[in-house]
Amino acid sequence: MKELDAQQTVAKERLENVKNAKEYQAVKSEVEKLKAKQSSLDEELLGAWNKFESVQKEQETFLQDAEKKRGEQKDIQEQKQKKIDEHKALLEERRQQRAQREKGVPVDWLERYAMMRSRVADPVVPVQQNSCSACFWSISHQNMLMLKRGQLLVCKGCYRFLYIPKELVEQEK
């Protein structure tokens, strides 16, 4: 554009100093050509500028979106961390409760429990209709009486620990 301006200035100066009509026409047509070239360059420049602006806007929107998503991810991450912390605290609380309760239980029972726990998901099961609710082994009358007195027994069929639910004992009373 600068170069075109300079060329136009030179041409205009020449226009002022022409000696005859023929030379005047030649220089004038040169000026017209330069003007046309300038106007088409102006259009091109405007087009490029508009394109630049729209790309810039797109980029701004993209960056805003990315920032928003990052914020959302951070929130989710924080919520997850909060839950993990809560579970950790709960686990610690349960560990302490468990240690407290284990104090009154004979060591060999704890060992048997640990062994069963490593083999099955439910090492302690309730009695249902005079049978083990896991393997349906029928429980003798004598053992039922012991269980009703609150004693813990091991099932002869599957070796799980048996107990009678409190509600059932109370019902019979």
- Compare residues 4 and 158 and give the one whose CB is closer to Zn ion: 158
- Cβ(161)–Cβ(117) below 8 Å: no
158 binds Zn ion (CB under 5 A): yes
155 binds Zn ion (CB under 5 A): yes
- Compare residues 34 and 134 and give the one whose CB is closer to Zn ion: 134
157 binds Zn ion (CB under 5 A): yes
Beta bridge partners of 125: 162
126 binds Zn ion (CB under 5 A): no
154 binds Zn ion (CB under 5 A): no
Q: Report how far apart, in Å, the C-alpha atoms of 93 and of each of 66, 101, 104, 119 are.
A: 41, 12, 18, 25
Give the range of 15-23, 81-89, 90-98, 124-132 binding Zn ion by CB under 5 A: 124-132
CA 74 to CA 132: how far, in whole Å?
50
Which of 26, 45, 55, 135 is in the footprint of Zn ion by CB under 5 A?
135
3-state secondary structure of 90: helix
Q: How many residues bind Zn ion (CB under 5 A)?
A: 7
136: left (phi over 0), alpha (psi -120 to 50) or beta: left
Q: Which residues contribute to the site for Zn ion (CB under 5 A)?
A: 132, 134-135, 137, 155, 157-158
